[in-house]
Amino acid sequence: IGDVVARYKRMRGFNVLHPMGWDAFGMPAENAAIANKTHPARWTYANIDTMRSQLKRLGFSYDWQREVATCRPEYYRWEQWLFLRMYEKGLAFRKESYVNWCDPCQTVLANEQVEAGACWRCGKPVRQKKLWQWFFRITHYAEDLLAHCDQLPGWPEKVITMQRNWIGRSTGAEIRFPLESGRGEIAVFTTRPDTVFGATFMCLAPEHPLVPELCRGRPQEEEVMAFVERISHQDRSDRALESYEKEGVFTGAYCLNPLNGRRMPVFTANFALMAYGTGGVMSVPAHDQRDFEFARKYGLEVVVVVMPPERPLNPGTMTEAYTGEGRMVNSGAFDGLPNTRAKEAIVDHLEKNALGRRTVSFRLRDWGISRQRYWGAPIPVIHCDRCGVVPVPESQLPVVLPEEADLLAGGRSPLPELESFVRVDCPACGRPARRETDTMDTFVESSWYFERFCSPECGQGMFDPAAVAYWMPVDQYIGGVEHAILHLLYSRFYTRVLQDEGLLDFKEPFTRLLTQGMVCKETVACPEHGFLFPSDVAPGSSGAQSCARCGRPVQVGRVEKMSKSKRNVIDPNTLLDRYGADTTRLFCLFAAPPEKDLEWSEQGVDGSFRFLNRVWRLAADWMDAVHSAAPYDGPPEVLEEGLKALLRKTHLTI
Ligand code: ANZ
Ligand code: ZN
């Protein structure tokens, strides 16, 4: 699709930058290398060569002089350079946070590598482990990223909606509840300050630092800590699901409702998430369904504070929370107000009495970029016992990933044990120190490659600012909808960082976005051999297909996105050998509108082939006649009817 746009624009006289490059670091390459008993570098460079030759055979109008591979030090050194600038500004920082951890494999797992709570590789349960990790402070730009969602008219509405929801801005209040013991308080974030009088208990995330403190020395301590340990094995995103079983335990402590003094038992509960708001939830069972289910399960008090106009609620017989609007009851001086007005009035009251304040919460979290994996760009810092974290001096960049290192058993990164890599002198004090062995998330590389394409050879910096000023932003970006959130949001963030560094002068990298459909094909499975590649399927007798290996009749399954795991893929080279590039390209363009999924069909390809042949034969058959014909550019009115019809048909065809 991109090639069509590029050729069209070129024919219309535009200068078109139409590049190709390789987003080459990361887990897929590493895992494929492990599976194929080879090295990620070898695997990657071999794949690049194969794919380059395939793309060349397809005749795309790429500017191959601009080819970039993100796993080359010439590329990632600039990413390391920007990391150091971000570190200076506090936009790159280190904090302890929870990761999926597999003990047998001694490695961190991405969410996608955790299957039903178990390690995808060894099948043993995964636990949440606290590790020091590097982050990019994308939340610094949350407000701006959200605001500019309104200024992307060239993007599909569904992608903008997904970005908005991901950033997830909620307005509400932070309210503080003093502990009954008098030693401290619990802060909560709520979007419903109108319901404070109905808050009957408190829930803290199991990871909340107050939890061990509150139960210490109490009879509940053992049970609470066992619960915390058990919940640490639950998937954090599952815990947020409405359908997930809600559970909790009483810590033994109480806090006080700041508006009516009610004693509220403090629980720790799995549905309270440390990563949102303050990690504490004031629970209002009458008006929040999660809190309601929790209260019924543990026999906790339900107090109605918002009364619906038509039918009064009875806390004893309610079967679900009431989340609609109504008039305030059981709320002291605020009784009788519509709850929407009480919201404002109560926050005013809290602010006046220094019990809380208006605030905004974002769902967006800072971007964890640490990977305890080998095949990625090294994070350019050094750890020194005396000086702490010391940035690698700019003059020592790039920190080159040692490409000769072999992966260890279970895919573990060799870096922490590779003395030649790890051992360095501290740039600050000169004593022996250790190099950071985490590598960067590959989404960092894909957050600025479009700028690199503008001056791919630039050795003076990430890019030549004049080239970027000339070419960027990208006029037409094309990609799969699977990038609707992560890649597109990270790129928007990174562009803002570059703008604040004074390196470029815009914040939105992509003016128009097309999310193209996926190429899909039916799956074929043999009862004996599982999914089959098309080349392993034989046309059986009486039209039915069979397995080429065992001859059994095969099962034709659903039409799904092409993927190697399902084997419903077509090797471009077989098509190119049989039909050539024109047919292959024509089929891809005509099979479906660009945004729609495309169902691969042999008949469709064949149809394109026959069409092109007809055009060819027509032209060839009439070649002599056409050669000797004089061009006609007179007025059509004077033509005889037959020629007039021919002229009309010619233009229609064009
Ligand atoms: C009391 C309340 C009463 C709430 C009510 C809702 C309804 P959104 O809209 O997604 O921003 N909450 C706050 N922090 C939380 C955490 N760390 N983990 C789990 N839940 C948390 O959600 C805001 C609401 O989510 C907040 O408002 C809080 O519950 C809960 F009738 O406070 B609410
Ligand atoms: Zn494992």
DSSP single-letter state for residue 39: -
Confidence band of 473 (pLDDT split at 50, 70, 90) = very high
**At residue 268, what are phi and psi to the nearest 5 degrees?**
-115, 135
Confidence band of 89 (pLDDT split at 50, 70, 90) = very high
Give the mutation target among 169, 177, 190, 361 for probing the ligand 1 site: most ligand atoms within 8 A of CB: 190
In the numeric block, the tokens 């890649």 are attached to: 487
Q: What per-residue confidence (pLDDT) applies to 543?
A: 66
Q: What per-residue confidence (pLDDT) applies to 112?
A: 63
Q: How far is the CA of 360 from the centre of ligand 1 (A)?
A: 12
CB proximity list for 633: less than 8 A, separation 6 or greater: none
Q: Which residues of 358-383 are buried (b: 16+ CB within 10 A; e: fewer)?
A: ebebbebebbbbbbbbbbbbbbbbbb
447: its two tokens: 């957050």
Q: Please, is 541 exposed, middle or buried when counting C-beta atoms within 10 Å of its C-beta (0-12, 13-18, 19+)? A: exposed
Smallest CA separation from ligand 1 atom 27, residue: 190
**At residue 309, what are phi and psi to the nearest 5 degrees?**
-65, -40
Helix then strand count (H, E) for the chain reads: 21, 31
How many Cβ atoms from other residues are within 10 Å of residue 566's Cβ? 19
Confidence band of 35 (pLDDT split at 50, 70, 90) = confident
CB proximity list for 371: less than 8 A, separation 6 or greater: 27, 108, 438, 439, 440, 441
Query: Per DSSP, what are the bridge partners of residue 476?
Result: 512
542 has a pLDDT exceeding 70: no
**At residue 12, what are phi and psi to the nearest 5 degrees?**
-85, 5
H-helix segments, 232-382:
236-239, 289-298, 339-352
CA 76 from centroid of its chain's CA atoms:
21
Give the HSE-up count for residue 410: Cα atoms under 13 Å, Cβ half-sphere.
16
Q: What per-residue confidence (pLDDT) applies to 356?
A: 96
pLDDT in tens, 317-360: 999 999 999 999 999 999 999 999 999 999 999 999 999 999 99
* Percent of the chain whose predicted confidence (pLDDT) is above 70: 98
CA 563 from centroid of its chain's CA atoms:
19
Q: Which atom of ligand 1 is nearest to the CA of 361?
A: 11
> CA–CA separation, 103 vs 127, rounded Å?
8
pLDDT in tens, 486-521: 899 999 999 999 999 999 999 999 999 999 988 899
Q: What per-residue confidence (pLDDT) applies to 129?
A: 84
Q: For the chain, give the mean pLDDT.
A: 92
* Closest C-alpha to 284, from 266, 305, 265: 305
Query: Per DSSP, what are the bridge partners of residue 391?
Result: 381
422 has a pLDDT exceeding 90: yes
Confidence band of 29 (pLDDT split at 50, 70, 90) = confident
Angle among Cα 499, 277, 338 to the nearest 5 degrees reads 110
117 has a pLDDT exceeding 90: no
In the numeric block, the tokens 């003395």 are attached to: 419
Give the mutation target among 171, 188, 191, 203 for probing the ligand 1 site: most ligand atoms within 8 A of CB: 191
The secondary structure of 524-548 as a DSSP string is: EEETTTEE--GGGEEE-GGG-EEET
Q: Which atom of ligand 1 is nearest to the CA of 286?
A: 31
- Spatial contact of 296 and 304, defined as CB atoms under 8 Å apart: no
Which ligand is closest in space to the CA of residue 118?
Answer: 2
3-state helix, strand, coil in the chain (%, to 5): 40, 25, 40
How many Cβ atoms from other residues are within 10 Å of residue 182's Cβ? 8
Quick check: CB of 284 below 6 Å from ligand 1? yes
**At residue 642, what are phi and psi to the nearest 5 degrees?**
-60, -45
Quick check: CB of 285 below 6 Å from ligand 1? no
> CA–CA separation, 14 vs 11, rounded Å?
7
Q: In 9-152, which ranges are E strands?
A: 21-22, 68-69, 92-102, 107-109, 114-115, 118-119, 127-136
Confidence band of 110 (pLDDT split at 50, 70, 90) = low
Quick check: CB of 198 below 6 Å from ligand 1? no
Question: Which range, of 332-346, 465-479, 523-537, averages the lowest pLDDT?
Answer: 523-537
The secondary structure of 544-580 as a DSSP string is: -EEETTT-PBPEEEEEEE--TTTT----HHHHHHHT-
- Spatial contact of 316 and 230, defined as CB atoms under 8 Å apart: no
- Measured distance between the N- and C-terminal CA atoms of the chain, rounded to whole angstroms: 20
> CA–CA separation, 114 vs 118, rounded Å?
5
- Spatial contact of 208 and 268, defined as CB atoms under 8 Å apart: yes
Quick check: CB of 272 below 6 Å from ligand 1? yes
540 has a pLDDT exceeding 70: no
> CA–CA separation, 184 vs 214, rounded Å?
10
Quick check: CB of 282 below 6 Å from ligand 1? yes
> CA–CA separation, 645 vs 625, rounded Å?
18
134 has a pLDDT exceeding 70: yes
* Closest C-alpha to 365, from 263, 306, 253, 279: 279
Question: Which range, of 60-74, 273-287, 495-509, 515-529, averages the lowest pLDDT?
Answer: 515-529
> CA–CA separation, 170 vs 309, rounded Å?
27
